[in-house]
Amino acid sequence: MIGEPSLLTNEMVQICTRVIPKNKIRYLMGCGYPEDILESVEQGIDLFDCVLPTRNGRTGMAFTSLGKVVIKAGKYAEDDAPLDKNCRCYTCQNFSRAYIRHLFNAGEILAGRLVSYHNIHFYMQLMADIRKSIQQGNFLQFKRNAGKNFNFREG
Ligand SMILES: [Zn+2]
């Protein structure tokens, strides 16, 4: 599914989940945008892996509960807020957007590590929240609410 347009991917996921036995783990390789993960979970996918959290982290793109943050943008030059005000990760608890942006501009490798750390935490939290919503029987409601800010594929 890597590199295919998301509509085609969704169509293929629907076809595959109809024929793959329900008692087997369903793995979708290379599906990494949070909005695609939500769609795929709805279709019955159980397991994912993708480079996006770290690849995008290394280049300064953070996945946040409120959408995409491209930390190199000038608007963050004096922003004392964390990458994601709703995040409890080490990066968000200890570093501001302005400082991380400064690290990128200075060519410090720590910048990419900090954003990658946050992104991995974001994905782990997303999957934990998905599992919890499934167990509580309200996945579709969770998908609607969480997905409102998920526009990571765009731009
Ligand atoms: Zn964070």
pLDDT confidence of residue 10:
80
Question: Do residues 29 and 40 make contact, with C-beta atoms less than 8 angstroms apart?
Answer: no
The average pLDDT across 129-148 equals 95
Total count of residues recorded for the chain:
155
The average pLDDT across 36-41 equals 93
Output the six-digit token pair for 66: 């409120």
> What phi, psi does 61 have (nearest 5°)?
-105, 120
How far is the centre of ligand 1, averaged over its atoms, from the C-alpha of 88 (Å)?
Answer: 6
Which residue reads 């959290």 in tokens?
53
Residues 6+ apart with CB under 8 A from 134: 41
How far is the centre of ligand 1, averaged over its atoms, from the C-alpha of 53 (Å)?
Answer: 12
Nearest to 31, CA basis, from 17, 51, 14, 59 = 51
pLDDT confidence of residue 4:
65
pLDDT confidence of residue 105:
96
Output the six-digit token pair for 101: 């942006």
pLDDT confidence of residue 37:
94
The overall pTM is greater than 0.85: yes
How far is the centre of ligand 1, averaged over its atoms, from the C-alpha of 105 (Å)?
Answer: 20
How far is the centre of ligand 1, averaged over its atoms, from the C-alpha of 15 (Å)?
Answer: 36
How far is the centre of ligand 1, averaged over its atoms, from the C-alpha of 24 (Å)?
Answer: 33
How far is the centre of ligand 1, averaged over its atoms, from the C-alpha of 145 (Å)?
Answer: 19
How far is the centre of ligand 1, averaged over its atoms, from the C-alpha of 118 (Å)?
Answer: 4
Question: Do residues 124 and 54 make contact, with C-beta atoms less than 8 angstroms apart?
Answer: no
The band of 154, judged by pLDDT with boundaries at 50, 70 and 90, is confident
